[in-house]
Structure 1
């Protein structure tokens, strides 16, 4: 097949490219050329999807069997891409998120759950917000119709992760000593390797599947305690996990999800965080490799890449707890 990937140079887009090439597909990537190197074997077209002239140059004289949009964040941009590409491709995959669902993270969500009321014609350059993914979905459906496939992804991890939730934990645990571990070690988490997400997305694309799939690891598959133990084993660290309950952490002013990545406290607003229903995706062939393999491969990538020049961050928010703040909480817990 001939496949166009909007993005394709970092993390999920990179995983799509690698696996599509390995399957023998012809791959064109379209990105600005600043987020990462183009992978060998692709037809790399550099341009900005917000620029109509760049999009027109991309499609001139070309036709693809399918498009994968792993980079759409603004409804305005997705609408423009879909309008221009609908006569140049037969199928359009849009990577959305569970953030698009109104009830997430407070409640369980599935493919029938309502999405945020963000319109398809939302003006461009909106500040980042969960509702924008819902607007992107509407923009695709209004401009591309029934040839669309929407994948609502959960928490993606694996090599080349740019946000750094798993990398932060690996680097912290590699330092050793007592490590502030949040909440209940038996609390379940849903973490999907970006490579498994891309493999499933390509399976659906090759079958010309349409509609919507909630795409992450099945609920209850692993626990936070197992996740951190995998980090200890992968790094060979002598770290000692000091499990600290939600109440103590919240009283100490620890910010969930950001200061201790992936920590969702047992509060009503967070009850659905690790409960998205993936049964439709599993029935369609979604496979999740062992979490230990993802953790090990991510640690190997970090070692190969070397120290980063920038701290891990979720948007403008730096990831990870200040070492002095962590020490104070650990000392208070031990006294």
Structure 2
């Protein structure tokens, strides 16, 4: 298989490239040159937001294109339009954020309302950008040749958002750790490597249409996740399980302040209770959380402990002062 990855040097794109190389695929990576691509690929340089920025893609043919773009949909439109006659399938890594609020229970791929968006838009919020990217790919390649991977929470090695790395580095420091309860709070996420492998399998099998890509509801819990962090780091950390009301009363924001965690309610149900039966039936398999945590910690140690951070995303986590305040309130 001949694969073109638009991006391919960071997180999700890098996982796709690595998985394809492991399969013996011929891989071409189109990127801006800010990060070195994995060894063994054909590297094409260009900036899809600049005039004539796609010039390096003027020739060549591919069986599959994978695009992880999360900004202006017009960039997806332009790339898809250029490649529509020279590539077999277009795989767009989208997001479950494309579902409109209030959410349909389970956020099924068919039957849920979607946010209003345009494939020609620029400067729009994340949800509209992802839905616009979907529409752009569909407009240029057609429904039968487009696979939409609507990812949920993505974690694992190469993460450049900082969610799991924040927990690992905090727990590695040891001492009492604010653990937002309850311990048995169900979580839903996907290891980036499981997502990458499924996308390649699905593309090779000729699948099309939207698929929610996240683990089954309850694949792990907040307690299992943080216990795995303690084991992986080997730190002298003591998890102090604290009621959600106390955490919120200390002024700590769910999701961004304490990454991954969302207290029970409508938002939790949307983030951690999605329907993934369609992807599971198409072969999605998710590794245990302990493996994801251990591999992410090993990767962080290789980097010296400092995880990369996307410039277009806010940093996550709380300060030691915020944590101390919440721990004091919790008694």
Q: Normalised by the size of structure 1, how large is the TM-score?
A: 0.93
Unaligned stretches of 5+ residues in structure 2: none
What displacement does 1:110 show?
Answer: 1.5
Work out whether residues 194 and 285 of structure 2, in 8 Å CA contact, stay in contact via their aligned partners in 1: yes
> Partner of 2:17 in structure 1?
17
Instruction: Output the CA distance in 1 between the equivalents of 2:285 and 2:258.
Output: 28
> Partner of 1:204 in structure 2?
202
> Partner of 1:118 in structure 2?
117
Instruction: Output the CA distance in 1 between the equivalents of 2:247 and 2:156.
Output: 27
> Partner of 2:50 in structure 1?
51
SS of equivalent to 2:287 = coil
| 1:170 to 2:172 alignment | no
| Distance verdict in 2 for CA 1:226–1:105, change over 3 Å | farther
Instruction: Output the CA distance in 2 between the equivalents of 1:309 and 1:13.
Output: 17
Work out whether residues 250 and 325 of structure 2, in 8 Å CA contact, stay in contact via their aligned partners in 1: no
Work out whether residues 163 and 314 of structure 1, in 8 Å CA contact, stay in contact via their aligned partners in 2: no
Unaligned stretches of 5+ residues in structure 1: none
| CA shift digits 1:264-296 (9 cap, x unpaired) | 122334432101111111111111111101100
> Partner of 2:186 in structure 1?
188
> Partner of 1:136 in structure 2?
133
| 4+ runs deviating over 6 angstroms | none
Instruction: Output the CA distance in 2 between the equivalents of 1:27 and 1:57.
Output: 15
| Distance verdict in 2 for CA 1:106–1:207, change over 3 Å | closer
Work out whether residues 183 and 243 of structure 1, in 8 Å CA contact, stay in contact via their aligned partners in 2: yes
Work out whether residues 313 and 319 of structure 1, in 8 Å CA contact, stay in contact via their aligned partners in 2: no
What displacement does 1:204 show?
Answer: 0.6
What displacement does 1:229 show?
Answer: 0.4
| 1:2 to 2:2 alignment | yes
| 1:149 to 2:135 alignment | no
SS of equivalent to 1:28 = strand
| 1:299 to 2:268 alignment | no
Pick from 318, 323, 328: which aligns with 2:325?
328
Work out whether residues 243 and 330 of structure 2, in 8 Å CA contact, stay in contact via their aligned partners in 1: no
Aligned length: 329
Instruction: Output the CA distance in 1 between the equivalents of 2:89 and 2:140.
Output: 12
Q: 1:64-103, aligned counterparts within 5 Å?
A: 64-103=62-101
What displacement does 1:22 show?
Answer: 1.1
| CA shift digits 1:87-125 (9 cap, x unpaired) | 110110000001111147684202112210112222x2x
